[in-house]
Chain A
Amino acid sequence: MKYQFKQYNILPGFGLTLGYTVVYLGLLVLLPLAALTLSALQMTWPEFWSAISSQRAIRSFALTFGTSFIAAVINTIFGLLIAWCLSRMSFPGRKIIDAMIDLPFALPTAISGIALTAVYAPNGILGEPLARLGIKVAYTPIGIIIAMILVGLPFVVRTVQPVLAELERELEEAALGLGASNWQTFSKVIFPLVLPSLLTGFTLAFARNLGEYGSVVFIAGNMPMKTEITSLLIVTHLEQYDYAGATALASAMLIISFVLLLTINLLQTWSGRRLK
């Protein structure tokens, strides 16, 4: 079968739009990434390998992906809860809370980092009582996770909220009328229908967490091997004029992220296919 490239479309300018999309993505995304790959290619394989397989680098990868994943999972659970609350319940101040959800988008990340550090430091408002209980938040991976939860929150809420708002009440009524319990109605009817958007939100939050820098560096403490995320390690390399090392780490990070995001996207397509 011959692939039909030109499809009839009611909107004109298909060629122009596609061309613009390719050029735009090329200039803004692909070109810088290609330059990065190119400079990484100038290294020999052993050089590259030693740059990314040092103990410090591996620890930073594990920390970055681990904390990003945990933060994204927590955001997914509580994001769903908040989205449910905002789309299904009416209470005084709902609009204000709705608007506050977007604040982490607008806030410069350094500011949220400093604010979180102030609160969670051993002498901070929350840090002090927690320290007395023996829980250290600032300068530990828990602090990193909290910073990532803050910046990733809007993604889940904003992707799930419209889907929940459009979900017909009648579906719930039908399930309850057929004798389903509240939990069965949620798990068998509502959850499968919001799952694709939940996965989208998770992916966005996870991706954002992987690249997060500003808010994390303040609360992390940046102790090598312990609380040093990859983004920070790259900056450290740069400050020491070790461009090759920085590039190698960045490329590795890029490849792993790409593979992970692609997998999640495929998973999401699969889960969404049944809901046409």
Chain B
Amino acid sequence: MFHRSWVPRKPYKADAWGMETAVKARGLTKRYGDVRAVGGIDLDIHAGEVFAILGPNGAGKSTTVEILEGHRTRDAGEVSVLGVDPGRPTRGWRARIGIVLQTANDMTEATVGETVRHFAGYYPAPRDPDEVIERVGLTENVNRRVRQLSGGQRRRLDVALGVIGDPELLFLDEPTTGFDPEARRRFWELIRDLAGQGTTIVLTTHYLDEAEALASRVAVVAGGRIVAEGEPATLGGRASAKARVSWSEGGERRALETETPTGTVIELTRRFDGEVPDLTVTRPTLEETYLRLVTLPEVTP
């Protein structure tokens, strides 16, 4: 069997929308009975980018992603994923996307190697199983049963199964929930690595630092709608928000909110004739911005 080796893929061909768009959604809507889970979401995810969807539990992010994955039907709206309507998934389309689900505790008695090789058989042009296992750092565990893996190792196996078919687009649903900090860092390296090979990645997460570390763009979902979208550094007017300059003076901590922090620092430098004691200049963290966004007054349906 021939396997695609782990090399950067060629850029996408422009799809029917005329752009290198991996995911496009307009007016995506989903209700469960009387509950509106998704209330008109628009998305444009470009080929090759890492796109994070942030939001509190029940905000509609998992529903949105499951509609994009073809796991759930939608009530209304136009959706295209790799040029195909995920409401009518085909086998060929399934071969082009990879999905890492939120929780899984299946296949406990198979070994890592058997599992990855078995799943490789589902795809028309899979990656080399041994190479994938090495990429996710499970080479030493290749002969271990899945049930013997730690939580982090189990998750990396899920990623291995998500990428074994050499997908153009990979969905990761809260991939690092329950990880210790070191395992998360290692996991991030893996995701950056995949993104570096040209795989488009759609990631949902609770963790702001995760979105900031990995994503080129983020969308914040609250109450079934996108309340902000952009680069992590500028999200929700974060970059242009007032900066907080603080320093120590006369044994006291002093602080100033200003739109011109550079001017303030120059002024302080003059005043202290050199080094300003304990000087810090900060903007709102992504977390502060996020919390402000998701606690905005409820949008009316």
Q: Do A and B come from one complex?
A: no
Q: Residues of B at under 8 Å CB distance from A? A: none
Q: Residues of A at under 8 Å CB distance from B? A: none
